[in-house]
Structure 1
Amino acid sequence: MITFSTICLLTILLTNFYSVTAEFSTEDCASLGFIKANLLCSSCDKLKDFNLEQLQEHCKECCHHDDSVAKEKKYARAILEVCTCKFPAYPQIQAFVKGDKPAKFPNLQIKYVRGLDPIIKLLDKDGIVRDTVAIEKWNTDSVEEFLNARLVKEEDEDKGYLKTNLI
């Protein structure tokens, strides 16, 4: 017969095994309540200030080291998917989509998908989705800051082209 303590022990062993073998995926972190793309490890250190030490280990599996923020992976394109019927629930996302900010990102596509909560899909240069981020709790500035940090800017691409064609 399996007891509660046996189940707890197995859970701890599996969690420790998983954390040794690989870091948590974006989906794993989301199921734990963490947004991997935006979580800095310095934020995990502050959990003890709120008596949330029990979350610290999982937080550390989902975070980015603060010194590596500048070296974040850049993506060639992004697709912001949202349902217009849900705009009343997400007025900040509506303000971003309907405002002038998307024009600042030529490699951002707005896609309307019926019934979908707002997400951003990040794609590589081959058009393959490499990461998906839920943005339902974000404000317009957060979306803009995220896109500025994660999308390759056109002038960056132009500079690379110019470097290869120097005379």
Structure 2
Amino acid sequence: MLKYTILALVAVSCHHINAEFTVADCRDLGFIKTQLMCSSCDKLDDFGLETLKPHCKQCCTQDQQPAAQRTYAKAILEVCTCKFRAYPQIQAFIQSGRPSKFPNLQIKYVRGLDPIVKLLDASGKVQETLSITKWNTDTVEEFFETHLEKVGASSKNSYSVVEEVDDDDEEDYLRTNRI
């Protein structure tokens, strides 16, 4: 009888150990269960926080797909030409021949905007928006090589550049400030 009681206690404790924490439990531990991705838990080792990893793993949500495998049908790089001085690496990328490697990349000049990349699905809906203010020229190119779908050789024309057109009759002062 004692064997069965001990066995039952061990079975219940093992089940409890493998069970995920509730939202309230995770909140008490300092985690937001709905926003915590399991890939983030793996990075705790890099910061000497290995002791948090078991609790983190019980509170996390499985990543849908690894970031390295996500690809998008189209990307839009939005930037203001007046910000080129602040972001010379983005200016260098745009003015080099690198954008021509990506036919599904569109460069859009938007007044006053820091450089961002909008990633779109095949239907043209924005899936992600990323700030690229701290990226260097090589990082921008590598990102597009990794995350933009490959387009067939027949449509290897070029990227497109779209300038925002205002309905104002006055001349756009940004056009006169281009480098």
Specify the TM-score bucket, using the shorter chain as the normaliser. Answer: 0.5 to 0.7
In structure 2, C-alpha distance between the alignment counterparts of 1:116 and 1:48, rounded to whole Å: 37
Partner of 1:128: 125
Q: Which runs of 4+ in 1 moved over 2 A?
A: 12-16, 22-25, 39-45, 67-70
Partner of 1:76: 73
Q: Which of 151, 155, 171 is 1:154 aligned to?
A: 151
Partner of 2:85: 88
Following superposition, the deviation at residue 108 of structure 1 comes to: 0.1
What amino acid is the match of 2:95?
Answer: K
Give 1 or 2 for the bigger CA radius of gyration.
2
Q: Where do 1:33-112 residues align within 5 Å?
A: 43-48=43-48, 68-70=66-68, 72-112=69-109
Cα pair distance change 1:104/1:42, threshold 3 Å: farther
Following superposition, the deviation at residue 131 of structure 1 comes to: 0.4
Partner of 2:164: none
In structure 1, C-alpha distance between the alignment counterparts of 2:110 and 2:60, rounded to whole Å: 32
The aligned length equals 126
Unaligned runs of 5+ in 1: 1-11, 26-38, 159-167
- In the superposition, the TM-score normalised over structure 1's length comes to 0.60
CA RMSD of aligned residues (A): 4.0
Following superposition, the deviation at residue 42 of structure 1 comes to: 5.7
Unaligned runs of 5+ in 2: 1-26, 156-179
Which protein has the bigger helix share?
1
In structure 2, C-alpha distance between the alignment counterparts of 1:107 and 1:44, rounded to whole Å: 36
Percent of aligned positions that are identical:
50
What amino acid is the match of 2:35?
Answer: E
What amino acid is the match of 1:23?
Answer: Q
- In the superposition, the TM-score normalised over structure 2's length comes to 0.56
For each residue in 1:19-56, what CA deviation from the matched residue of structure 2 results, as whole angstroms up to 9, or x when unmatched?
Answer: 2xx2359xxxxxxxxxxxxx98765431229xxx8xxx
Report SS of the residue matched to 2:152: helix
